[in-house]
A and B are shown apart, each in its own frame.
Chain A
Amino acid sequence: MTHKNYRASSLLLAFLILTISLTVIAQEDEKSSVQSLKYNPEDFPSFEDNEFCLRCHSSGYFVLSDTVSGLSKRQAMCDNYNISKDNYYMSVHGSFSCTDCHSSEYQNFPHATALRFEPAFACLDCHGGDENFAQYHFEEIDAEYANSVHAQIENGEFNCWKCHNPHSYVPLARRDTLSTDFVVSSNQMCLTCHGNFEKFQLLSDKELTGIVEKHDWLPNEALHFKSVRCIECHSAQNLDILVSHNILPSDSAISDCVKCHSKNSVLMGSLYKFRVIESRKSSGFVNAAIIDNNSYVIGANRSEIMNLASLLIFGLTLFAMTIHTLFRIKKSKKQ
């Protein structure tokens, strides 16, 4: 092979390798973008209809056009109106078409201002009095909410959706595995307003105090934030429903450590309630549901077997010492 032919062959080979590599990369990209979907669009009959809305409401921007000048430009979509398609189709409401709950007039753009005043459905509008949803106790939840501080908000702006996003809601508390993610997502509901002054001031004229500073009395504060939900301390327990909705005023919140850190831990009626109801596991430990959840709560996890063994060892030691002492007294009397 001449030097020229060799160079040409090398270039050809390099080109082929590059082409093949790019093709493989492109295919991998395509594959990974398909795999990244957490849902199968074919499972959702309303998917195509919803795309009309979600092309703006899930993209982070919309295109504003002026019919007179013919100009158009991209505008950022406000976060409140952005919906994650993954979250929506994985949520309990994922099978719905947008217009099942929202006016079909939203299909006109720009949307009419009057539509903003359209009353939104509340949970009970669909779920109230329905036997299919009896296990969720919506009526009791509504009664609890009516007693909570949230219901006292003067301008009446508070509703279910302030905490439960209808476009992403999943009943995490009813899942068998209570992970840290569950606690984080539950606390995120509270922090949406209580950790964000902009959101908070939409509902209240009160001063927003720093969450971290206000809880600095908790030993190992970060671990508490990671392991328990705000509502464990900030709501009144109701044994009839899974998650208490009677949010208490801050000065009525639990601040006595022993309420959780004891054999009769209130966590068993709140954070671990579902697990307790479902499994009632007995692995020799009091409140074993906490252990099953890869957690450990000082004072609440006690092993009856270990308690018995330790009492037995202590008892035998004290018994041996008593006998020994008696013999010592006898010996000293002889002398």
Chain B
Amino acid sequence: MTEQIYFYPVWIRLWHAVNAVLCILLILTGLSMQYSDPDFVLINFGLAVSMHNFSGIALTISYFLFFFGNMFTANGKFYRLKVEGLSIRLWKQLRYYAYGYFVNEESPFPVSPQNKFNPLQQISYLLALYLALPLLFVTGWALLFPEFIINKLLGFSGIFLTAQLHIVMGFFISLFLIIHLYVSTMGASPLSNFKSIVTGWQKLH
């Protein structure tokens, strides 16, 4: 029988579910606004704006729950990056995904209660959750209250630069989501990781 460990406490699963729904809504409404076209309406523009604003505000609240949750629970330790030997660990994991996985090598960083993320996961989660998302929040809230945005920065319109940074970060989060979904299919079975984030129990493989 495959060994299972209780990996995802209720608060993380709830946060993850809320986060997933809100991120998908934000990406779809964001794309719909950025590429709005009278001849091809993905989501009505006014509705997309309202949904994007609402989801953005809700995601900010959800993010703070995650941020403080990580600060005050043991889950935070998985996000502490050890810089020493990082490049070697990243290379090992990358090599495993590109080659070792196909020749049945042992995973260099198997999942364990002490080691929830492999180095690639850890760095991508850190970049997404502690860099891209905060930048999205700052720029998104600024665009909600554009009167607080400085008029000019380095010769460019402040509102334009804020919007561009928001779009670029939104793009990286969309890319992260796609890669995240794909890598999630690489568990014990293609659907096992999806089941884990629902039940909390992770199959070890």
Chain A residues in the interface with B (C-beta under 8 A): 217, 219-220, 222-223, 256-259, 261-264, 291, 293-296, 298-299, 301-303, 306, 310, 313-314, 317-318, 321, 324, 327-328, 330-331
Contact B37 A298, beta carbon cutoff 8 Å: no
Q: Is the CB of A301 within 8 A of B179?
A: no
Chain A residues closer than 8 Å to B33, beta-carbon distance? 261, 298-299
Q: In the bound complex, what is the Cα–Cα distance between A291 and B156 (angstroms)?
A: 8
Task: Beyond A257-B49, A294-B152, list 10 extra A-B contacts (CB 8 Å).
Answer: A258-B45, A259-B38, A261-B33, A261-B36, A264-B38, A291-B156, A291-B160, A294-B158, A317-B175, A321-B182
Q: Determine if B160 and A301 form an interchain contact, defined as CB atoms under 8 angstroms apart.
A: yes
The 5 closest A-B CB pairs, nearest first, are A257-B45, A294-B157, A299-B36, A219-B49, A296-B160
B21 within 8 A of A: no
On whether A256 and B49 interact (CB within 8 A), knowing A291-B160, A299-B33, A314-B175, the answer reads no
Q: What are 17 A-B contacts with C-beta separation under 8 Å?
A: A219-B46, A222-B147, A256-B38, A257-B45, A258-B38, A261-B33, A262-B38, A294-B157, A296-B160, A299-B35, A299-B36, A314-B178, A317-B175, A318-B178, A324-B182, A327-B102, A331-B102
Measured CB to CB, the closest approach of chain B to A290, in angstroms, equals: 9
- Does B28 sit within 8 A of A, measured CB to CB? no
Nearest CB on B from A205, distance (A): 33
B168-195 contact mask (Cβ, 8 Å, vs A): 1 or 0: 1001000100110010001000000000
Name the A residues within 8 Å of B146 (CB-CB): 220, 223
Q: Which residue of B lies closest to A259 (CB)?
A: B38
- Interface status of B50 (Cβ within 8 A of chain A): yes
Complex contact A294–B38 (CB within 8 A) = no
Q: When the two chains form their complex, are residues B37 and A294 in contact, meaning their CB atoms are under 8 A apart?
A: no
| A258 and B151 within 8 A (CB) | no
Complex Cα spacing A113 to B183, Å: 87
Complex contacts, A217 vs chain B, CB 8 Å: 46
Closest CB-CB distance, A317 to chain B, in whole Å? Answer: 6
Among A324, A327, A328: residue with most chain B CB under 10 A = A324
Could you say which of A219, A257, A296 contacts B36, with CB atoms under 8 Å apart?
A: A257
A294 close to B175 (CB less than 8 A): no
B204 contacts partner chain A, Cβ-Cβ < 8 Å: no
Taking a contact as CB atoms under 8 Å apart, the answer to whether B46 and A310 are in contact is: no
Is B53's CB within 8 Å of the partner chain A?
yes
Contacts A258-B36, A261-B45, A299-B36: A317 and B151 contacting too (C-beta < 8 A)? no
Whole-angstrom distance between the alpha carbons of A291 and B158 in the complex? 10
Asked if B41 is at the interface of the complex by the 8 Å CB criterion, the answer is yes
| A317 with B179: CB separation less than 8 A | yes
Cα A314 to Cα B35 with chains together (Å): 16
| Contact status of A263 and B53, CB under 8 A, knowing A294-B152, A317-B175, A327-B102 | no
